[in-house]
Amino acid sequence: MRLIGKEEIENIAIGAALLGTGGGGDPYIGKLMALQAVEEYGPIQLLNVDEVPDDALIVPTAMMGAPTVMVEKIPNGEETVQAFEALESYVGKKIFATMPIEAGGVNSMIPLALAARLGIPVVDVDGMGRAFPELQMVTFHLDGVTATPIVLGDEKGNSIVLNTVDSVWAERIARSATMEMGGSLMMAIYPMDGRTLKQSGIPNTLTLEEKIGEKVSQAVKNNEDPVQEILELTSGHILFKGKVADIDRKTEGGFAKGTASIQGLSEYQDQECKLHFQNEHLLAEVNEKTVCVTPDLIAVIDSDTGIPITTEGLRYGARCTVIGMPCDPKWRTEKGIEVTGPRYFGYDFDYCPLDELLAKGEN
């Protein structure tokens, strides 16, 4: 166990934006929520997953909805407390700790803010190792853990308890409720015991995010390029360098969907990269050839500042570097690819790992 405060939160927010593959909600808003909570209530206990008792109740907390909505509909912090306490009351057991459901933007920050407010620990683990747009896209689902009961809460004080037959139905019903409740909401989801968490979670996510943030911050301070440091920490590869030439983005069905076109610079001159996203980046193409595809990670970094850019933060003219990173091995299983691979999102081809795609491009 260790305590984390403002400096650690600043670094985690940067790493979360990178591993969030463009999604997971605005990391800046989440960072402000966590910083304010630490200012008011003190530092946060961060537990290694092995420190969690097997019979302890762990409940992830997160935002659901289109990240673009949160830019105008900023959470007040009470939604998470309301959802968390309602779930605790419903299951009739004291919650030992919270955790991020995904390594993404605001969703890495919300559990930190909640933990500070309630004086409970955060576990250094998540259910994706990245961000994905749907509730069943977690490693817990791969192992048969149910998402419900879920509590959804909005800024008006409304709350809903859901019990569904499976996690896919939880996604469908919760997504419909999200649209009715203003396009985004907070939730307490996937309640589980410590034993299940140790078996199914992806450990040390927050620590990795913090390390990424430290490297980026140091590079920015020293006026250096942080990309190489990021690639070493994530086993990643540069996919493209250029400037954003066009954005086609819309909020639809509770998601931010669209494409971004990037015109090549330097060694990528006269080439084009196209990114396809649904909250998160799902597919990267260079000259119409696939170079990285879900469940592997695609992230966009501002070439001038080294700071990751979210899908809602992409702007015309921004100079950026696109990188690809291998996903956790759990996602490369048959079940993992079925749940998060390209065919699930409507792309008419099979998943091919990042390293194999890059090797094909070199031949």
What digits encode the pLDDT tens for the residues 201-258?
Answer: 999 999 999 999 999 999 888 888 888 889 999 999 999 999 999 999 887 776 778 9
Q: Is pLDDT larger for residue 281 or for residue 256?
A: 281
In a domain, 82, yes or no: yes
CATH code at position 266: 2.40.390.10
Given 153, 188, 203, the domain boundary residue is 203
- Structural contact between residues 87 and 191, judged by C-beta atoms closer than 8 angstroms: yes
Same domain, 143 and 94: yes
| Residue 363 pLDDT greater than 60, yes or no | no
CATH code at position 27: 3.40.1610.10
Would residue 283 be called left, alpha or beta, if left means φ above 0 and alpha means ψ between -120 and 50 degrees?
Answer: beta
In a domain, 113, yes or no: yes
- pTM listed for this prediction: 0.92
Rounded Cα–Cα distance for residues 65 and 182 (Å): 9
Same domain, 176 and 101: yes
Helix spans in the chain (H): 6-19, 27-41, 67-70, 78-91, 105-118, 139-142, 167-180, 194-200, 205-221, 227-234, 334-340, 354-362
Output the six-digit token pair for 331: 């996602």
Same domain, 99 and 167: yes
Same domain, 141 and 57: yes
Output the six-digit token pair for 109: 């920050």
In a domain, 210, yes or no: no
pLDDT confidence of 279, banded at 50, 70, 90? Answer: confident
Q: Is pLDDT larger for residue 169 or for residue 28?
A: 169
3-state secondary structure (DSSP) of residue 271: coil
Same domain, 238 and 164: no
Q: Please count the structural domains in the chain.
A: 2
pLDDT confidence of residue 67: 64
In a domain, 211, yes or no: no
Given 142, 170, 203, the domain boundary residue is 203
Q: Which of 35-39, 145-149, 227-231 comes out lowest in average pLDDT?
A: 227-231
In a domain, 217, yes or no: no
Same domain, 193 and 251: no
pLDDT confidence of residue 342: 97
Same domain, 136 and 57: yes
Same domain, 155 and 80: yes
Same domain, 309 and 243: yes
Instruction: Kindly report, residue by residue over 161-194, the tens digit of the pLDDT.
Output: 999 999 999 999 999 998 888 888 899 999 999 9
Structural domain for 185, as ranges:
2-203
Same domain, 176 and 264: no
Instruction: Kindly report, residue by residue over 314-343, the tens digit of the pLDDT.
Output: 899 999 999 999 999 999 999 999 999 999
Same domain, 247 and 150: no
| Residue 61 pLDDT greater than 90, yes or no | yes
pLDDT confidence of residue 70: 62
Same domain, 232 and 187: no
pLDDT confidence of residue 183: 82
In a domain, 212, yes or no: no
Instruction: Kindly report, residue by residue over 76-87, the tens digit of the pLDDT.
Output: 678 889 999 999
Arithmetic mean of pLDDT, 150-165: 92
